């Protein structure tokens, strides 16, 4: 039996290959410092854990409505709306098993074959994979490194628009770069979307893990409410990556189509987990604040250590789990020409495991610098420091 031809178009999350490599090395007894993981090694808040037990005891174990239980749709619409200064009712919400499903379901239901779709690259690799799988033309836009941080490459966005792009993925508080848009950048993007009659998918995976200040959503800029689908996930804010709970929030006409795919694909998202989701949204703020405080501490230590290494330049991410340092200078000092070789040597020599730029979309023409992604969500402060000490010592003894 042959595999369907369309499977040739499907990409992957190659970062999982780095995890597998680290696990193989760990099995030989080597201590691994897991900076490659976008997972989180902190417990899910107690309120949510109690709620799931109660829901199972109460028999919330059968099928439930395909778009989600009404209590969760209502609570999530309110939570997402309040945080963005917008109004979302129950019909604007389709509950999903995680954040990721909204990406493919939007593409499957709203993109015609041959549509041009803009997406961030470096970015979450599933955009590129799903656009191409469903026969779209994936048009990447990157980031420009500036002293204030990484900025959207509007030349690439405008080029995509000239080619007829009618959809754009936008991941403010970006994975892997940690980039976030200042107000004027977000406004410029919204203007382009409105002027060119486009639709935007706002991947808000890290919206609620902003370390200081108030997160901003493009959905509340003029003209954007009807042109934005917000992708929400419980994974990061509530340390619930393995529970698989999220939602698509936006215009009813898009939500209806996404829900039709729910009926076909999974019938419904796990019933009792949805009740835990309601409890999470109503949980005392201290429970999620504790997660943010721990992550902020790790971020601060990591960025400081990285910037103390000659040849490494790291911006401080305002939100999310990732630092995306430029390591071109360090690689030159150590005599490396290939970032994958550098990654493997670091892993084998020190146990420090991280991903590189090429795990987040095909590198773009003209890229000359090398970047790596170090996640601080899956490693506690002591191990973080121990791993980075080993890394620094290894670097110092290998300068050419
Ligand atoms: C930018 C981005 N979008 C979506 C997802 C998927 O989220 P989930 O695990 O809830 O499906 C992730 C997970 O790492 C992410 O980083």
Atom of ligand 1 nearest to the CA of 38: 14
* pLDDT score for 399: 87
Q: 124 C-alpha vs ligand 1 centroid, how far in Å?
A: 8
- Give phi and psi for 168, each to the nearest 5: -140, 130
- For the Cβ of 277 lying below 6 angstroms from any atom of ligand 1, the answer is no
C-alpha separations of 33 from 37, 248, 288 in Å: 10, 34, 25
CATH of 62-281, one of 2.60.40.3880, 3.40.640.10, 3.10.180.10, 3.40.190.10: 3.40.640.10
Residue to substitute in 76, 105, 124, 373 for testing ligand 1 pocket (most ligand atoms within 8 angstroms of CB) = 124
Atom of ligand 1 nearest to the CA of 235: 10
The model's pTM is: 0.96
- For the Cβ of 120 lying below 6 angstroms from any atom of ligand 1, the answer is no
- For the Cβ of 121 lying below 6 angstroms from any atom of ligand 1, the answer is no
CA dist 123 and 235 (Å) reads 18
Residue ranges of the chain whose pLDDT lies below 70: none
- Burial level of 358, CB count in 10 A (0-12/13-18/19+)? middle
- For the Cβ of 205 lying below 6 angstroms from any atom of ligand 1, the answer is yes
* pLDDT score for 80: 98
- For the Cβ of 233 lying below 6 angstroms from any atom of ligand 1, the answer is yes
Per-position DSSP letters for 28-90, written without gaps between them: TT---EE-S--S--SPPPHHHHHHHHHHHHTTTTS---TT--HHHHHHHHHHHHHHHT----G
Taking each helix axis from N to C terminus, what angle separates 183-195 and 154-162, rounded to the nearest 10 degrees? 0
User: Using alpha carbons only, what angle is made at residue 226 by residues 222 and 229, rounded to the nearest 5 degrees?
Assistant: 110
- For the Cβ of 203 lying below 6 angstroms from any atom of ligand 1, the answer is yes
Q: 43 C-alpha vs ligand 1 centroid, how far in Å?
A: 18
Q: Where are the domains of the chain?
A: 5-43+286-394, 62-281
* pLDDT score for 16: 84
C-alpha separations of 130 from 11, 97, 109, 165, 233 in Å: 7, 17, 12, 16, 18
Q: 382 C-alpha vs ligand 1 centroid, how far in Å?
A: 26
* Alpha-carbon dihedral sign for residues 181, 183, 185, 186: positive
Whether 5-43+286-394 and 62-281 share one fold: the answer is no
Residue to substitute in 97, 120, 235, 243 for testing ligand 1 pocket (most ligand atoms within 8 angstroms of CB) = 235
Atom of ligand 1 nearest to the CA of 101: 11
Residue nearest to atom 7 of ligand 1 (CA): 99
In the structure encoding, which two tokens stand for residue 132, read together?
């191409």
Is 150 within 8 Å of 315 (Cβ atoms)?
yes
CA dist 398 and 275 (Å) reads 54
Atom of ligand 1 nearest to the CA of 233: 10
Is 249 within 8 Å of 95 (Cβ atoms)?
no
Is 44 within 8 Å of 156 (Cβ atoms)?
no
| 273: nearest Cα among 242, 231, 229, 237 | 242
Q: 205 C-alpha vs ligand 1 centroid, how far in Å?
A: 6
* pLDDT score for 73: 98
C-alpha separations of 368 from 169, 258, 297 in Å: 25, 40, 32
3-state secondary structure of 375: strand
- For the Cβ of 171 lying below 6 angstroms from any atom of ligand 1, the answer is yes
CATH of 5-43+286-394, one of 3.90.1150.10, 3.40.50.300, 3.30.2310.20, 3.30.470.30: 3.90.1150.10
């Amino acid at each position: 039996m042959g595999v369907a031809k369309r499977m040739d178009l499907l990409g992957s999350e190659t970062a999982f290959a780095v995890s597998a490599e680290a696990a193989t090395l760990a099995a030989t007894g080597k201590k691994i410092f897991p900076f490659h993981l976008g997972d989180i090694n902190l417990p899910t808040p107690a309120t949510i854990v109690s709620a799931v037990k109660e829901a199972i005891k109460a028999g919330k174990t059968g099928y439930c409505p395909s778009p989600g239980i009404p209590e969760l749709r209502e609570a999530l619409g309110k939570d997402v709306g309040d945080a963005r200064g917008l109004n979302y009712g129950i019909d604007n919400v389709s509950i999903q098993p995680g954040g990721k499903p909204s990406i493919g379901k939007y593409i499957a239901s709203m993109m015609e074959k041959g549509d041009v779709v803009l997406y961030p690259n470096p970015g979450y690799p599933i955009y590129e994979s799903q656009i191409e799988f469903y026969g779209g033309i994936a048009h990447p836009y990157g980031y420009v490194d500036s002293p204030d941080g990484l900025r959207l490459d509007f030349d690439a966005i405008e080029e995509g628009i000239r080619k007829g792009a009618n959809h754009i993925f936008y991941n403010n508080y970006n994975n892997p770069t940690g980039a976030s848009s200042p107000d004027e950048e977000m406004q410029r993007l919204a203007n382009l979307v409105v002027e060119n009659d486009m639709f935007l998918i706002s991947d808000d995976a890290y919206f609620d893990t902003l370390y200081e200040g108030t997160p901003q959503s493009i959905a509340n800029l003029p003209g954007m409410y009807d042109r934005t689908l917000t992708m929400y996930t419980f994974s990061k804010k509530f340390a619930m990556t393995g529970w698989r709970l999220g939602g698509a929030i936006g215009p009813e006409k898009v939500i209806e189509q996404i829900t039709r795919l729910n009926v076909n694909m999974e019938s419904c998202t796990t019933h009792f987990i949805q009740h835990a989701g309601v409890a999470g949204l109503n949980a005392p703020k201290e429970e999620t604040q504790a997660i943010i405080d721990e992550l902020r501490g790790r971020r601060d230590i990591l960025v400081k250590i990285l910037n103390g290494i000659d040849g490494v330049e790291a911006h401080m991410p305002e939100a999310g789990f990732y630092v995306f340092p430029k390591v071109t200078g360090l690689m030159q000092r150590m005599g490396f020409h290939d970032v994958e070789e550098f990654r493997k040597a670091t892993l084998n020599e020190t146990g420090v495991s991280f991903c590189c730029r090429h795990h987040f979309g095909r590198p773009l023409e003209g890229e000359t610098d090398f970047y790596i992604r170090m996640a601080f969500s899956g490693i506690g402060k002591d191990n973080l420091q121990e791993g980075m000490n080993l890394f620094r010592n290894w670097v110092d003894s290998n300068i050419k």
